[in-house]
Amino acid sequence: MLIKSIDLSRKLLYIINPIAGNGSRGLLRKLIEEQTRKAGFDFQCHDSTIGGDYEELLSQTSKSGFTDIIIAGGDGTINQVVGAFRHLDLPFGI
């Protein structure tokens, strides 16, 4: 299927487990940043937290106009992020 157009008005929030991607610390984030920038999207990347404390990021997210939350990590990261951000009524990507 050929994609004719991409909605670049999306503002993406990536939450990345810094040790995701076979433990190659930082490599996954670098790849995500390079490809998202190349695609022309407005985005921010944040590391996941060990204890799942996202209070400050949650406050920023609701004020910053993000349209999507994309999670890069395992089931623990996914559960923490969805649990913290589910009430924002934004779509999640995994």
Q: Tell me the per-residue pLDDT of 58-82, one tens digit each, with 9 for 90 and over.
A: 988 888 999 999 999 999 999 999 9
Average pLDDT, the chain: 89
pTM confidence score: 0.87
The identity of residue 75, as a single letter, is D
Reported as a pLDDT band with limits 50, 70 and 90, residue 91 is very high
Which sequence spans correspond to the domains of the chain? 1-45+70-88+90-94
Given this model, what pLDDT does residue 3 score? 53
Pick from 75, 69, 70: nearest CA to 89: 69
pLDDT of 23 strictly over 70: no
The helix (H) or strand (E) run that includes residue 42 is strand 42-47
How far is CA 47 from its chain centroid? Answer: 9
Indicate the burial class of 85 (C-beta count within 10 angstroms; 0-12, 13-18, 19 or more): buried
